[in-house]
C-alpha cells in the first residue's frame, strides 16, 4: 500500500524491520522534504514487492554500470518524473538508500546516489568502491553519501 511520507511527523511505517528504522525514517523524510520544497512533489513510497519495475530499473543500472549487487533486502521504492528528470529511490533494510536521477534529455545529468542512515556500517559491496562524505540533517542526523555518474542508456 502506498504511503505519502510525512516529513513533519516522521514515522517508521514500512521500515520497522530495519535495525536503524528511526534513522532510515529520518533519511526518507529528508528526501520527502527536499522533493516537496524543490518540486512541490508529494514523496510517495510503496513496499518493494508492490513496485517491482522501479526496483528492477535501479538494480539493472547498478549491475550494468558498476557490477554492484546490494545484499540487503529492499523495503520500499518510489519512482516518479519531475522537471524532465526520472527519479527512483530504494530504501533497504540495512539503512541504505539508493536514488537514481536520470534526466530525459540526452545531454543532461544522470547519476546514482547512495545515502547511509546514521548508525549503519558501509555495506561491504560499496566499501572498497566509494568514499562517503558526511552531511547533517535535522531529520536524519548525520548522513553519509556518495554517487557515480551513469554512462549508459536506461
Distance, CA of 77 to CA of 63 (rounded, Å): 18
pLDDT at 140: 85
Residue 114 to residue 116: CA distance in whole angstroms: 7
Domain spans of the chain?
3-149
Spatial distance between the Cα atoms of 90 and 139, rounded to a whole number of angstroms: 18
Which of the four pLDDT bands, split at 50, 70 and 90, describes residue 108?
Answer: confident
* pLDDT mean over 64-80: 97
Neighbours of 127 (CB within 10 A): 10
pLDDT over 90 at 1, yes or no: no
The position carrying cell 518524473 is 81
Q: Average per-residue pLDDT in the chain?
A: 94
| pLDDT value at residue 2 | 87
The pLDDT of residue 26: 95
pLDDT at residue 106 greater than cutoff 80: no
Amino acid at each position: 500500500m502506498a504511503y505519502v511520507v510525512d516529513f513533519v511527523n516522521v514515522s517508521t511505517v514500512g521500515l520497522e524491520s530495519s535495525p536503524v528504522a528511526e534513522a532510515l525514517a529520518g533519511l526518507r523524510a529528508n528526501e520527502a522534504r527536499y522533493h516537496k520544497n524543490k518540486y512541490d512533489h508529494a514523496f510517495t513510497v510503496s513496499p518493494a514487492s508492490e513496485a517491482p519495475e522501479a526496483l528492477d530499473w535501479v538494480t539493472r543500472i547498478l549491475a550494468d554500470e558498476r557490477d554492484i549487487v546490494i545484499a540487503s533486502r529492499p523495503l520500499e521504492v518510489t519512482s516518479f518524473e519531475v522537471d524532465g528528470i526520472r527519479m527512483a529511490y530504494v530504501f533497504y533494510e540495512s539503512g541504505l538508500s539508493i536514488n537514481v536521477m536520470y534526466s530525459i534529455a540526452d545531454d543532461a545529468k544522470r547519476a546514482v546516489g547512495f545515502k547511509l542512515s546514521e548508525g549503519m556500517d558501509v555495506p561491504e559491496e560499496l566499501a572498497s568502491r566509494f568514499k562517503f562524505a558526511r552531511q547533517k540533517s535535522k531529520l536524519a542526523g548525520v548522513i553519509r553519501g556518495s554517487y557515480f555518474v551513469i554512462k549508459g542508456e536506461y
